[in-house]
Amino acid sequence: MSLKAVVFDAYGTLYDIQSVAETTEDAFPGYGEIITQIWRIKQLEYTWLRSLMRRYQDFAAITRDSLAYTLRVLGLAYENEAFERVVEKYLHLDLYPDATAALTALKPRKLAILSNGSPDMLNALVRNSGLDALLDATISVDAKKIFKPSPEAYELIGEVLGTAPDEVLFVSSNPWDVAGAKAFGLNVAWIERVTPEAMALACVENELVAPLTMFKAIRTQMDELGFAPDHRVRALSELPSCSPPNGKSGMSRPE
């Protein structure tokens, strides 16, 4: 069966979450990098904790709460204006440079985003980046009130696009998301932007482990969960050459 849809994670896959660093540094000079990394780590942790606790709040609230946590533990006082300016950057994250061309090359398959982001956040981000002209759907887990990697979140793909799991290629740079999508039964491509070799070199070259290096060690390397991706690529631009496993003719043009 050929692939009928390609579905992307948003944060860290199509959009560079590290692009908030310039804004955090401007708002809190000397603390930009560590704020950026702790904020993202806690943001993800809060999605998992709230899912397990069955105490859902949307991603907009989680983004604010995790930033408040970060500033508090770092002992940083702040005015409301600075806080809002940093949060606002999540509506204007930078696209990875090859994102638009990669999506264009994957047409005419259905293209969609499945993200933990709240609807208002995602719709603004997609519109501000111009991807609304290419996407057939922007799907938020808010419809299920539970975050990825819950199977309920991945069910939304079929419900919205009318596809079976084996008709979908799911694309993410987040290893926990890759494992969740693969466990659900989707074809999965992992965007491996940071290799173990690059990690080892970064640690050897520095006496102290930088916040970004620590973040990459925690959140960019494949987890030991027993679910490997079908494809490992280094960039979005490599996706058009992917095909499903088991000899399926997946990236041919759909009928």
Write the single-letter amino acid at 160.
V
Write the single-letter amino acid at 202.
A
Give the integer Cα–Cα distance in Å for 45 and 88. 21
Give the integer Cα–Cα distance in Å for 163 and 139. 14
Run of H or E residues at 181: helix 175-184
Give the integer Cα–Cα distance in Å for 155 and 176. 17
Q: Which of 9, 16, 58, 142 is catalytic?
A: 9
- Tokens for 239? 């996706």
What does the buried/exposed string (b/e) look like for 148-176 if buried means 16 or more CB atoms within 10 Å of the residue's CB? bbbeebbebbbebbebeebbbbbbbbbbb
Give the integer Cα–Cα distance in Å for 90 and 122. 9
Among this protein's residues, is 65 annotated catalytic?
no
What residues contact 176, with CB distance under 8 A and at least 6 apart?
Answer: 44, 148, 149, 219, 223
Q: How many CB atoms lie within 10 A of CB 186?
A: 26
Strands 15-16 and 94-95: antiparallel
Active site residues: 9
